[in-house]
Amino acid sequence: MAEIRTIIATTTEDDRQPAVREAGVERALAEHATLILYDLDAATSPLESPVPTEWSAEGTSETVGDRLGPEELEAAGRTALAEQVRRARAAGVDAWGWLPGDDDRGTLVDYASRQPAPLLLLPDDEPELSDGHLPQEVVSARGR
Protein backbone atom coordinates (compact mmCIF):
# COMPACT_ATOMS: atom_id res chain seq x y z
CA MET A 1 0.00 0.00 0.00
CA ALA A 2 1.21 3.52 -0.76
CA GLU A 3 2.43 5.76 2.01
CA ILE A 4 -0.37 7.69 3.71
CA ARG A 5 0.57 11.19 4.84
CA THR A 6 -2.83 12.79 5.35
CA ILE A 7 -5.93 11.28 6.95
CA ILE A 8 -9.15 13.14 6.15
CA ALA A 9 -11.93 12.03 8.48
CA THR A 10 -15.41 13.46 8.17
CA THR A 11 -16.96 14.82 11.34
CA THR A 12 -19.95 16.87 12.45
CA GLU A 13 -20.50 19.71 14.90
CA ASP A 14 -22.63 17.49 17.15
CA ASP A 15 -20.16 14.58 16.84
CA ARG A 16 -22.90 12.23 15.63
CA GLN A 17 -20.27 10.11 13.85
CA PRO A 18 -17.63 9.62 16.55
CA ALA A 19 -16.42 6.30 15.11
CA VAL A 20 -15.09 8.01 11.97
CA ARG A 21 -13.28 10.71 13.98
CA GLU A 22 -11.86 8.13 16.41
CA ALA A 23 -10.70 5.93 13.52
CA GLY A 24 -9.02 9.00 12.05
CA VAL A 25 -7.11 9.66 15.27
CA GLU A 26 -6.04 6.00 15.53
CA ARG A 27 -4.99 5.79 11.89
CA ALA A 28 -3.09 9.11 12.03
CA LEU A 29 -1.16 7.86 15.06
CA ALA A 30 -0.39 4.52 13.39
CA GLU A 31 0.69 6.12 10.09
CA HIS A 32 2.43 9.16 11.66
CA ALA A 33 0.14 11.18 9.40
CA THR A 34 -1.60 14.52 9.65
CA LEU A 35 -5.31 14.36 10.52
CA ILE A 36 -7.81 16.77 8.99
CA LEU A 37 -11.31 16.73 10.47
CA TYR A 38 -13.58 17.66 7.56
CA ASP A 39 -16.77 19.24 8.95
CA LEU A 40 -19.81 18.02 7.03
CA ASP A 41 -21.97 20.59 8.86
CA ALA A 42 -19.92 23.60 7.75
CA ALA A 43 -21.84 24.40 4.56
CA THR A 44 -24.58 26.77 5.68
CA SER A 45 -26.02 28.28 2.53
CA PRO A 46 -25.04 28.84 -1.10
CA LEU A 47 -24.60 32.55 -0.32
CA GLU A 48 -22.29 32.12 2.70
CA SER A 49 -18.82 30.72 3.19
CA PRO A 50 -17.87 29.09 6.51
CA VAL A 51 -14.44 30.79 6.32
CA PRO A 52 -13.59 34.38 5.37
CA THR A 53 -13.44 35.08 1.65
CA GLU A 54 -11.53 37.70 -0.29
CA TRP A 55 -14.73 39.77 -0.36
CA SER A 56 -15.57 39.44 3.33
CA ALA A 57 -12.13 40.14 4.77
CA GLU A 58 -9.01 41.80 3.47
CA GLY A 59 -5.88 39.67 3.27
CA THR A 60 -7.59 36.31 3.74
CA SER A 61 -5.58 34.61 1.03
CA GLU A 62 -2.53 35.04 3.26
CA THR A 63 -4.26 34.02 6.49
CA VAL A 64 -6.72 31.23 5.61
CA GLY A 65 -5.01 28.14 4.22
CA ASP A 66 -6.57 24.77 3.64
CA ARG A 67 -6.20 23.67 7.29
CA LEU A 68 -7.50 25.46 10.36
CA GLY A 69 -6.22 25.23 13.92
CA PRO A 70 -8.41 25.48 17.03
CA GLU A 71 -8.05 29.27 17.23
CA GLU A 72 -9.14 29.79 13.61
CA LEU A 73 -12.03 27.37 14.07
CA GLU A 74 -13.22 29.24 17.15
CA ALA A 75 -12.92 32.55 15.29
CA ALA A 76 -15.18 31.03 12.61
CA GLY A 77 -17.72 30.11 15.30
CA ARG A 78 -16.90 26.36 15.25
CA THR A 79 -16.12 25.75 18.92
CA ALA A 80 -17.19 22.09 18.83
CA LEU A 81 -14.84 21.30 15.94
CA ALA A 82 -12.06 23.27 17.63
CA GLU A 83 -12.47 21.03 20.68
CA GLN A 84 -12.34 17.88 18.51
CA VAL A 85 -9.05 19.13 17.04
CA ARG A 86 -7.69 19.90 20.51
CA ARG A 87 -8.56 16.39 21.75
CA ALA A 88 -6.82 14.82 18.75
CA ARG A 89 -3.75 16.98 19.37
CA ALA A 90 -3.77 15.99 23.05
CA ALA A 91 -3.63 12.35 21.87
CA GLY A 92 -0.44 13.17 19.96
CA VAL A 93 -1.82 13.77 16.46
CA ASP A 94 -0.94 16.65 14.13
CA ALA A 95 -4.62 17.57 13.81
CA TRP A 96 -6.46 20.32 11.93
CA GLY A 97 -9.99 21.13 10.86
CA TRP A 98 -11.53 22.19 7.57
CA LEU A 99 -14.80 23.95 6.83
CA PRO A 100 -15.89 23.16 3.26
CA GLY A 101 -18.16 25.53 1.38
CA ASP A 102 -20.32 22.61 0.18
CA ASP A 103 -21.11 19.25 1.75
CA ASP A 104 -21.15 17.26 -1.49
CA ARG A 105 -18.92 14.46 -2.74
CA GLY A 106 -17.21 16.60 -5.38
CA THR A 107 -16.04 19.17 -2.85
CA LEU A 108 -14.71 16.44 -0.55
CA VAL A 109 -12.86 14.62 -3.35
CA ASP A 110 -11.41 17.89 -4.71
CA TYR A 111 -10.17 18.85 -1.24
CA ALA A 112 -8.67 15.38 -0.66
CA SER A 113 -6.91 15.37 -4.03
CA ARG A 114 -5.04 18.56 -3.06
CA GLN A 115 -3.61 16.95 0.10
CA PRO A 116 -0.38 14.93 0.18
CA ALA A 117 -0.95 11.13 0.01
CA PRO A 118 -4.55 11.29 1.33
CA LEU A 119 -6.75 8.63 2.89
CA LEU A 120 -10.46 9.42 3.30
CA LEU A 121 -12.40 7.99 6.24
CA LEU A 122 -16.13 8.20 5.51
CA PRO A 123 -19.24 7.40 7.55
CA ASP A 124 -21.21 4.28 6.67
CA ASP A 125 -24.51 6.18 6.90
CA GLU A 126 -23.68 8.66 4.10
CA PRO A 127 -23.01 6.46 1.03
CA GLU A 128 -23.46 9.38 -1.36
CA LEU A 129 -20.04 10.64 -0.25
CA SER A 130 -18.26 7.59 -1.64
CA ASP A 131 -20.49 6.63 -4.57
CA GLY A 132 -18.57 6.23 -7.79
CA HIS A 133 -14.86 6.11 -8.41
CA LEU A 134 -12.34 8.23 -6.59
CA PRO A 135 -9.30 9.74 -8.29
CA GLN A 136 -6.28 7.43 -8.24
CA GLU A 137 -4.44 9.64 -5.75
CA VAL A 138 -7.31 9.48 -3.21
CA VAL A 139 -7.84 6.28 -1.23
CA SER A 140 -11.09 5.71 0.66
CA ALA A 141 -11.73 3.65 3.76
CA ARG A 142 -15.17 3.32 5.28
CA GLY A 143 -15.69 4.31 8.91
CA ARG A 144 -16.14 1.58 11.47
Is the distance from CB of 117 to CB of 139 less than 8 angstroms? Answer: no
Distance CA 143, CA 121 (A): 6
Q: What is the pLDDT of residue 126?
A: 76
Residue from 11, 7, 13 nearest 95 by CA: 7
From the centroid of its chain, how far is CA 31?
Answer: 17
The pLDDT-based confidence of 144 (bands split at 50, 70, 90) is very low
Q: What is the pLDDT of residue 122?
A: 87
Residue from 115, 144, 68 nearest 134 by CA: 115
Structural domains for the chain? 6-142 (3.40.50)
For 27, the 3-state DSSP assignment is helix
Task: Mention every residue, 6+ apart, whose C-beta is less than 8 A from residue 70.
Answer: 82, 83, 85, 86, 89, 97
Q: What is the pLDDT of residue 64?
A: 44
Tell me the whole-structure pTM to 2 decimals: 0.81
**Tens of pLDDT, residues 54-102:** 444 454 444 447 899 999 999 999 999 999 999 999 999 999 999 998 8
Cα dihedral sign, 119-5-28-60: negative
| DSSP element (H, E) containing 70 | helix 70-75
**Tens of pLDDT, residues 6-44:** 999 999 999 998 999 999 999 999 999 999 999 999 876
For 47, the 3-state DSSP assignment is coil
Is the model more confident about 28 or about 105? 28
For 120, the 3-state DSSP assignment is strand
